[in-house]
């Protein structure tokens, strides 16, 4: 009974020895090596045919003919990726002469490099406008003046100058030049040759045009928005801040750790309501979110680092002057946030100067599947919208720069691709593509 397994093991041993002898023979080894080499070369050739780029070998160029799934295993894919990476690194460090090739027809990745370069150039310009320095231009070998304009970015310097003009009274006038041209008409100098232009400008100002920071029709805004915004501006910008009848309320922004920007704005809306009800000019003081190196000089720790100040500089100077006057505090000429209870600030009385326009609000509050036409917080919702719109009426140049950086990060590459596609000539004419990534 034990003979059969023994004979079987002997037979297997003999077959294994014969196979070993055959496998160690030189002709067999040649066949095996040739077979494996053929498999590798075939896989490599198929990978090159199915790749997206163009591979050049021995003067013969193989172009991509398919975008289907590659039959390569993980080892072959790693090899192809290594070759592609070496080729990309080489291209990023060479000087590419101008090619009269439509960017939409390019398949070698150069257009992606040009898009990345233009987007980086815009980012460098924005960085300089905020931080004042950038090492990009020396590394890229580009001229700032040759960079195409960015359609998604705002000219912050020009915008700041225009807004500053719109936030100041015209000479001997009650209001700034808030014409239907948003102040642009006021930039034309007066002369005998344009007396008619001067007449229309003076008429538009004297008739009391509405604030230019309100856009859209009256139906697209809360009731009485244009009138309310104009009246708040007039209340916060008295003609003579040193008039004995002008009183002030000086208040810091909330700075407790648990208060976010929403709570800070809600608190300041309540203080502005108190100031209007008591016929005081609101002057804001310390703002913790502006307490950093980005807000320089007088803008540090101030709301005016991001948005135009809530009142004129003359009124601010007068208010802080009175703040150190004990008699002015005792007589109530000036008050502070500590002069009021917390309930007065957070749930105080909404100004009734303009009646009750919130009663005409379109219902937006839903309960049990039905819109509520009126509820107790409608007045607070309406007032906070008006107060925040006034406090954020104009961006400063610094805030405009921050918004440009955010826009460039969000849509900069898409904008760069559109600009490069629309250009009639190649940009730049001699392109030095560095490994900026």
pLDDT in tens, 174-188: 788 787 555 555 555
Same domain, 326 and 382: yes
User: In this structure, is residue 215 part of a structural domain?
Assistant: no
DSSP-derived pairing of the beta strands 334-336 and 247-251: parallel
**Omega before 428 within 30 of 0, i.e. cis:** yes
Of 78-87, 174-183, 188-197, 320-329, give the range with the top mean pLDDT: 320-329
| pLDDT tens digit sequence for 97-117 | 344 444 444 544 448 888 999
Same domain, 128 and 261: no
Write the CA distances from 424 to 148, 201, 214, integer angstroms. 12, 42, 39
| pLDDT tens digit sequence for 102-159 | 444 454 444 888 899 999 999 988 888 766 666 787 787 788 888 899 999 999 999 9
Residue 249: give the domain boundaries. Answer: 222-393
Q: Please give the Cα distance from 47 to 70 (Å, whole number).
A: 6
Same domain, 243 and 341: yes
Residue with structure tokens 């007045």? 379
User: In this structure, is residue 358 part of a structural domain?
Assistant: yes
pTM (predicted TM-score)? 0.68
Q: Please give the Cα distance from 122 to 409 (Å, whole number).
A: 10
Write the CA distances from 258 to 28, 255, 262, 298, 384, integer angstroms. 79, 8, 11, 27, 20
Same domain, 379 and 246: yes
User: In this structure, is residue 162 part of a structural domain?
Assistant: no
Note the pLDDT of residue 201: 55
Note the pLDDT of residue 127: 84
Q: Please give the Cα distance from 169 to 186 (Å, whole number).
A: 12
- Strand, helix or coil at 166? helix
Give 64's DSSP letter.
-
User: In this structure, is residue 115 part of a structural domain?
Assistant: yes
Same domain, 344 and 273: yes
> Can you tell me the mean pLDDT for 63-80?
41
Same domain, 333 and 284: yes
45, pLDDT greater than 50: yes
Answer whether 54's CB lies under 8 Å from 108's CB: yes
Note the pLDDT of residue 95: 37
Tokens standing for 35? Answer: 């077979």
Tokens standing for 80? Answer: 């192809």
User: In this structure, is residue 72 part of a structural domain?
Assistant: no
DSSP-derived pairing of the beta strands 60-62 and 247-251: unpaired
- Strand, helix or coil at 365? strand
Note the pLDDT of residue 17: 56
Angle at alpha carbon of residue 275, lines to 273 and 279, rounded to 5°: 120
- Strand, helix or coil at 250? strand
Helices 261-277 and 378-391, packing angle to 10 deg = 100
Same domain, 412 and 339: no
413, pLDDT greater than 80: yes
Answer whether 287's CB lies under 8 Å from 268's CB: no
User: In this structure, is residue 389 part of a structural domain?
Assistant: yes
| Mean pLDDT over each residue of the chain, to the nearest integer | 77
| Higher pLDDT pick, 384 / 207 | 384
Same domain, 346 and 421: no
Same domain, 119 and 266: no
User: In this structure, is residue 216 part of a structural domain?
Assistant: no
Q: Please give the Cα distance from 414 to 150 (Å, whole number).
A: 11
| pLDDT tens digit sequence for 347-371 | 889 999 999 999 888 777 788 888 8
Answer whether 115's CB lies under 8 Å from 413's CB: yes
374, pLDDT greater than 60: yes
Same domain, 370 and 413: no
Q: Please give the Cα distance from 272 to 345 (Å, whole number).
A: 9
Same domain, 250 and 271: yes
Q: Please give the Cα distance from 281 to 318 (Å, whole number).
A: 11
419 band by pLDDT with thresholds 50, 70 and 90: very high
Q: Please give the Cα distance from 68 to 52 (Å, whole number).
A: 10
- Which residues have CB under 8 Å from 198's CB, separation 6+? 190
Q: How many domains does the chain have?
A: 2
Angle at alpha carbon of residue 344, lines to 338 and 346, rounded to 5°: 100
Answer whether 165's CB lies under 8 Å from 186's CB: yes
Answer whether 211's CB lies under 8 Å from 393's CB: yes
User: In this structure, is residue 51 part of a structural domain?
Assistant: no
Answer whether 196's CB lies under 8 Å from 185's CB: no
Same domain, 301 and 375: yes
């Amino acid at each position: 009974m034990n003979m059969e397994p023994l004979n079987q093991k002997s037979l297997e041993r003999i077959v294994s020895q014969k196979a070993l002898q055959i496998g160690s023979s030189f002709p067999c080894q040649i066949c095996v090596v040739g077979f494996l080499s053929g498999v590798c070369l075939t896989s490599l050739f198929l990978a090159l045919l199915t790749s997206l780029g163009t591979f050049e070998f021995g003067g013969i160029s193989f172009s991509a003919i398919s975008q289907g799934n590659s039959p390569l295993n993980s080892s072959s894919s790693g090899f192809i990726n290594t070759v592609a990476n070496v080729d990309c690194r080489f291209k990023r460090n060479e000087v590419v002469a101008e090619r009269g090739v439509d960017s939409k027809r390019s398949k070698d990745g150069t257009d992606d490099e040009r898009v990345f370069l233009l987007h980086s150039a815009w980012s460098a310009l924005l960085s300089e406008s905020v931080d004042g320095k950038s090492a990009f231009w020396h590394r890229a070998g580009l001229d700032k003046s040759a960079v195409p304009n960015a359609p998604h970015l705002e000219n912050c310097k020009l915008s700041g100058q225009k807004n500053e003009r719109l936030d100041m009274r015209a000479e001997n006038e009650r209001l700034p030049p808030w014409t239907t041209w948003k102040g642009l008409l006021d930039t034309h100098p007066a002369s005998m040759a344009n007396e008619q232009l001067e007449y229309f400008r003076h008429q538009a100002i004297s008739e009391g045009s509405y604030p230019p920071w309100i856009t859209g029709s009256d139906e697209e805004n809360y009731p009485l928005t244009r009138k309310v915004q104009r009246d708040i501006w007039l209340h916060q910008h008295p003609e003579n801040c040193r008039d004995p009848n002008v009183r002030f309320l000086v208040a810091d922004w909330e700075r407790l750790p648990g208060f976010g920007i929403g709570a800070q704005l809600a608190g300041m809306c309540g203080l502005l309501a108190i100031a209007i009800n008591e016929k005081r000019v609101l002057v804001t003081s310390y703002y913790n979110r502006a307490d950093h190196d980005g807000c320089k000089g007088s803008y540090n720790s101030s709301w005016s680092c991001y948005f135009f100040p809530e009142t004129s500089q003359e009124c601010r100077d007068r208010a802080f002057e009175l703040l150190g006057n004990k008699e002015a505090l005792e007589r109530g000429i000036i008050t502070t946030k500590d002069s009021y209870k917390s309930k007065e600030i957070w749930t105080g009385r909404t100004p009734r100067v303009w009646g009750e326009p919130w009663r005409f609000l379109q219902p937006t509050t839903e309960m049990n599947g039905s819109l509520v036409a009126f509820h107790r917080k409608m007045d607070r919702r309406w007032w906070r919208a008006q107060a925040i719109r006034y406090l954020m009426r104009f961006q400063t140049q610094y805030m405009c720069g921050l918004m440009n950086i955010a826009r460039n990060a969000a849509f900069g590459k898409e904008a760069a691709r559109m600009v490069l596609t629309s250009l009639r000539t190649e940009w730049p004419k001699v392109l030095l593509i560095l490994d900026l990534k």
